[in-house]
């Protein structure tokens, strides 16, 4: 392949990763706005609707972009694939940068749609963006009452570990129980929804550094200031470091505890 073609391929992959996180955050932040800003909220007593919407956003992103870049759409997934599945190291930072950029743009679109409602919500509840973080939960994550930053860090290691463990199993070529390629995207989306439904109230289940940091950066530049970065209690690093470590842990667990024992591999099929 000529250098020109290689550059074209890489540009396409970066656009694809940017588009994937754009889709996820545009839809996900919008459903968060529906949950947060309206009273009565259509989701306050139907939280599964929020979870399944995030999950279907992931599914849509995979269907749209998977054939181009593989739809990592998550720096934790990119890191795990690099360490355990041979993803090229020279693509790691470009992929992560594209993912954060897409999340930033997705948050911007959600803001475009809901900015009048955000202003009305803050006015009604006597909140400001930069002092109270009014409506910040639409865009980025935070721990619930009683959850310290350290506990949230541990939570995100566990939850992202489950995510990547599941993704590795779903996409494993030697796993005879894995879904077919055309349905894998749906199962991954349902996995994201299941994590949210079971543990989302802990700290809004970021499980993806780009999903949190892109919108957080957007909010920092659009009136939320220190409420976004570094955030109350200097929290900003938790949804980055926790998922990155969790992705490595989940991917490593699959590679060590499951993959060596798959029948197809034990039968001598080359990996």
Tens of pLDDT along 71-83?
A: 999 999 999 999 9
Q: What percent of the chain has pLDDT over 90?
A: 91
Q: Which CATH class is domain 3-266?
A: mainly alpha
- Per-residue pLDDT band for 268 (boundaries 50, 70, 90) equals low
Cα–Cα distance for residue pair 78/93, rounded to 1 Å: 9
Of the pLDDT bands very low, low, confident and very high (cuts 50, 70, 90), residue 103 is very high
Is 50 exceeded by the pLDDT of residue 13?
yes
pLDDT (tens digit per residue) in 250-261: 999 999 999 999
The Cα–Cα gap between 248 and 165 comes to: 9
> In the predicted model, what is the mean pLDDT of the chain?
95
* Domain regions of the chain by residue span: 3-266
| pLDDT greater than 50 at residue 271 | no
257 CB burial (10 A radius; 0-12, 13-18, 19+)? exposed
Confidence category of residue 3, pLDDT binned at 50, 70, 90: confident
Torsion (CA) 151, 157, 159, 160 in degrees, nearest 10: 150
Query: What digits encode the pLDDT tens for the residues 112-167?
Result: 999 999 999 999 999 999 999 999 999 999 999 999 999 999 999 999 999 999 99
**Tokens 């693509």, located at residue:** 91
Is residue 270 over pLDDT 60?
Answer: no
Q: Which helix (H) or strand (E) holds 181?
A: helix 181-203
Confidence class for position 203, pLDDT limits 50, 70, 90 = very high
Residue 171: what are its φ and ψ, rounded to 5°?
-100, 5
Question: For residue range 17-66, what is the model confidence (pLDDT) as tens digits?
Answer: 999 999 999 999 999 999 999 988 888 889 999 999 999 999 999 999 99
The torsion defined by the Cα of 159, 252, 214 and 60, in degrees rounded to 10, comes to: -80
Q: CB count, 10 Å around CB of 221?
A: 12
Note the pLDDT of residue 269. 55
How far, in whole angstroms, is CA 52 from its chain's centroid?
14
């Amino acid at each position: 392949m000529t250098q020109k073609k290689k550059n074209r391929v890489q540009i396409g992959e970066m656009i694809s990763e940017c588009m994937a996180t754009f889709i996820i955050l545009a839809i996900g932040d919008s459903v968060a706005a529906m949950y947060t800003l309206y009273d009565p909220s259509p989701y306050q007593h139907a939280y599964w609707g929020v979870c399944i919407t995030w999950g279907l956003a992931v599914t849509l992103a995979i269907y749209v972009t998977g054939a181009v870049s593989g739809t990592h759409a998550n720096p934790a997934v990119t890191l795990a694939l690099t360490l355990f599945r041979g993803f090229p190291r020279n693509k790691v930072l470009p992929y992560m940068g594209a993912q954060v950029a897409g999340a930033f743009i997705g948050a911007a679109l959600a803001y475009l749609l809901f900015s009048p409602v955000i202003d009305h919500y803050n006015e009604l509840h006597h909140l400001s963006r930069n002092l109270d973080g009014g409506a910040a939960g639409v865009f980025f994550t935070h721990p619930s009452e009683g959850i310290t930053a350290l506990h949230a860090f541990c939570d995100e290691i566990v939850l992202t570990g489950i995510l990547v463990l599941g993704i590795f199993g779903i996409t494993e070529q030697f796993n005879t129980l894995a879904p077919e390629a055309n349905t894998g995207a749906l199962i991954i989306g349902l996995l994201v929804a299941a994590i949210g439904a079971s543990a989302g109230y802990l700290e809004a289940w970021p499980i993806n550094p780009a999903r949190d940091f892109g919108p957080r950066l957007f909010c920092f530049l659009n009136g939320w200031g220190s409420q976004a970065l570094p955030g109350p209690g200097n929290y900003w690093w938790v949804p980055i470091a926790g998922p990155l470590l969790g992705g490595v842990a989940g991917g490593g667990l699959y590679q060590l505890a499951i993959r060596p024992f798959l029948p197809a591999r034990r039968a001598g099929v080359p990996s």
